[in-house]
Amino acid sequence: MERRQFLTATAAMGLAALDLTDAEAVTRRVSRPGPVRVGMGEVTAIHSMTTALGDAASELGGGHARHLAVRYLIDDVKPWLDGAYTEKVGRELFAAASQLLQLIGWMARDAGEQGLSQCYHVHSFKLAAEAGDNELAATALRGLADQAIDLGHVPAAVRLAEACEQRGRKLTNPKALAYYRNTYARAAAADADRTTATRLLTASQAAIEHAPAKPGASWASHYSPGRWAHESGMIHASLGDLPAAEEHLHLALDIHGLDRKRTRAIVLADLGQVQLRRGNTAEALASWNEFLNCADGVQSIRINDALGNITARLPHLPDSPAAAELGERIATRT
């Protein structure tokens, strides 16, 4: 399949997910006998495994431990979904499985497997919607929208991001509101809709400023001010406001202290790109050197793309010891 056809197919699949839910899926399963009896202990186990695998992936990239997450889904979680449970347990079970599917979808995307990632996000959305969990459903739509932006399917991204933000309005969690508003703002910026992007950025900032400092138990409660600052910075960059972009990226790194290796590396790579666009070559080289320190050992398509972008720009920079050193470091890495 050609890339253009692939993009069209995946975008259509993401949009079709909005109409694929089955509101009676849980209640229909409650009355049937199953090979295993499932209770809240199994639900708690899924949450614990998802947290542990997610921590490893956010530190070292989606290329690490994805096979473990997939095996856990197939060998343990699927038999539980096919088991016997009460309606209350069933809804909690669907929601927990949705979280695991979101994680695997993110891991697949970070490993460069875009089509597979979208399939996982679609199934995650269906399970979340069937469980009646608006936050998880919105987060799955966010993953689809974010992916559509990166793949260049902007109209589909706008529709998915709008659906994500609309579901988020039903929530009171300020971190969730900031999360979904920034997603819509990013899609609007990619669509050159400055008015909508600016409005949503302002609304997102208002939400994150009222968010509690500690992460909660819910999925979107882990959306930190640091992640918000990074995403907001890149939206500003997309809109052409480079001073605001650099300010937000420094805020993410220096004030909110993003400490995951993968996350910090990506922010540093983005910061270097913004600094270079502003004509600050020395600062960009310093950011990219720090990026290499953080990227060591991380398996992520985002890291690989950042390396490719830096490598492509180095030959066009003025000769300097810093540029030569960075080039040598990249050459030894690859």
pLDDT tens, the chain, 334 aa long? 333 343 344 444 444 545 545 545 555 556 566 678 899 999 999 999 999 998 888 888 888 888 899 999 999 999 999 888 999 999 999 999 999 999 999 999 999 899 899 999 999 999 999 899 999 999 999 999 999 999 999 999 999 999 999 998 888 899 999 999 999 999 999 999 999 999 999 999 999 999 887 777 777 888 889 999 999 999 999 999 999 999 999 999 987 656 788 999 999 999 999 999 999 999 999 999 999 999 988 889 999 999 999 999 999 999 999 999 999 999 887 6
From residue 36, alpha-carbon distances to 48, 79, 131, 250 in Å are 20, 7, 20, 51
Alpha-carbon span 94 to 79, nearest angstrom: 12
Determine what percent of the chain falls in helix, strand and coil, rounding each to the nearest 5: 80, 0, 20
Alpha carbon distance 1, 6 (integer Å)? 6
